[in-house]
Amino acid sequence: MKNIRSLLENTPACQASIRLDWGLATLILLMGLGLGWNYLARSDVYQSFYQSEFAPAVLFACGRDFQNVVTDEVPELFAFLRRDRDRSRHQLPCHTLPEQIPVTEISGFQYTHHHLLFLAALTWKLAIVLGIHDGPDWSSLNPVFGLFYGLSGAFFFGLCRLAMGRFATIAIVLFFLFSQHHLLGLASFRDYAKIPFLIGILFIVADLLKNNYSFHIMVTRSLLAGTMMGIGVGMRQDILQLLPLIVLAILFFLPGPVKFLQRLTVLGIYVLFFVLVGYPTVSRLQGESNPSFNLSQGLTSDFSEMLEIEHSIYEDGYIFHDMYTYTRIKEFAERVEKVSLNTVIRSGLDFFSKNYTDVSKHYLSEMLFHYPADILLRFIASARKAAESGIIKKHGIFIVISAMAIIFWYNLRIGIFALMAFLFIGGMPGLLFVARHSGHVKFLALFCHGIVLQAFISWLFRNRAEEGKVSHPWIGYSWPRSSLSFSKILLYCLLPLTVFMLLISSTLWIVRWYQNNHLQSYLAHIASLPGEHLTGYFSESPTGRTWAYSLKLQSEKFDKSIANTYAEYLAITFSHEKNCQSVPLMIGLDYKGTSVLNFSRQMTLQLPMEPATYFHPIYRSSEIKPEIIEFPDQAASCIQELKKIKITDTITLLPIFMWPENPEKYDLYHTLWLGWSSYQPFPFMIKHKNNGFNVKQGDG
What does the DSSP assignment read for 601-663? EEEEE---SS-EEEEEEEEEESS-EEEEEEE-HHHHHTEEEEEEEEPPTT--S--EEEEES-G
DSSP state of 93: -
25, amino acid identity: A
**β-sheet bridge partners, residue 619:** 567
Q: Helix, strand or coil for residue 485?
A: coil
* pLDDT given at position 695: 40
Tell me the residue length of the chain. Answer: 700
pTM here is 0.86
313-327, 354-368, 474-488, 646-660: least confidently modelled range? 474-488
Q: What is the pLDDT of residue 230?
A: 93
Confidence of residue 499 (pLDDT cuts 50, 70, 90): confident
Task: Write phi, then psi, for 15 (nearest 5 degrees).
Answer: -65, -40
Where residue 12 falls among pLDDT bands split at 50, 70, 90? low
CB 610, CB 666: distance < 8 Å: no
Looking at residue 696, what is its pLDDT?
A: 40
SS3 244: helix
**Helix (H, G, I), strand (E, B), or coil: what is residue 665?**
helix
Sign, CA torsion 45/49/50/52: negative
Q: Looking at residue 165, what DSSP letter applies?
A: -
Query: At CA 334, angle to CA 331 and CA 337, rounded to 5?
Result: 115
The answer on pLDDT for 288 being more than 60 is: no
The pLDDT confidence band at residue 490, using thresholds 50, 70 and 90, is low
pLDDT tens string 373-420: 999 999 999 999 899 888 888 788 999 998 998 888 888 889 999 999
Look at 172 and 682; give whichever has higher pLDDT: 172
DSSP 491: I
| Most confident listed range (138-147, 331-340, 453-462, 572-581) | 138-147
In whole angstroms, what is the distance from residue 172 CA to residue 391 CA?
A: 9
User: Can you give 283-349 as a three-state secondary structure string?
Assistant: CCCCHHHCCHHHHHHHCCHHHHHHHCEECCCEECCCCCCHHHHHHHHHHHHHHHHCCCCCEECCCEE
Question: What's the rounded mean pLDDT across residues 361-365?
Answer: 86
Q: Would residue 69 be called left, alpha or beta, if left means φ above 0 and alpha means ψ between -120 and 50 degrees?
A: beta
Sign of CA dihedral 385, 389, 390, 392: positive
Using 50, 70 and 90 to split pLDDT, how confident is the model at 544?
low
* pLDDT over threshold 50, residue 1: no
* Residues in CB range of 399: below 8 A, 6 or more apart: 387, 390, 392, 445, 448, 449, 452
**Is residue 374 a contact partner of residue 515, using CB atoms and an 8 Å limit?**
yes
Beta strands of 133-181 (E only): which ranges? none
Non-local CB neighbours of 306 within 8 Å, separated by 6+ positions: 385, 433
Longest dimension (CA), the chain: 90
Looking at the chain, the whole-number percentage of residues with pLDDT higher than 70 is 79
Residue 40 contacts residue 142 (beta carbons within 8 Å): yes
Residues 445, 194 contacting (CB under 8 angstroms)? no
Is there a contact between 160 and 448 (Cβ–Cβ < 8 Å)?
no
User: What's the confidence (pLDDT) of residue 155?
Assistant: 97
Q: Are strands 656-660 and 68-69 parallel, antiparallel or unpaired?
A: unpaired
Q: How confident is residue 484, by pLDDT bands cut at 50, 70 and 90?
A: low
**295-304, 467-476, 539-548: range with highest mean pLDDT:** 295-304
The β-bridge partners of 314 are 657
- Does pLDDT of 445 surpass 90? yes
What confidence score (pLDDT) does residue 587 get? 76
Greatest mean pLDDT among 11-15, 258-262, 298-302 lies in 258-262
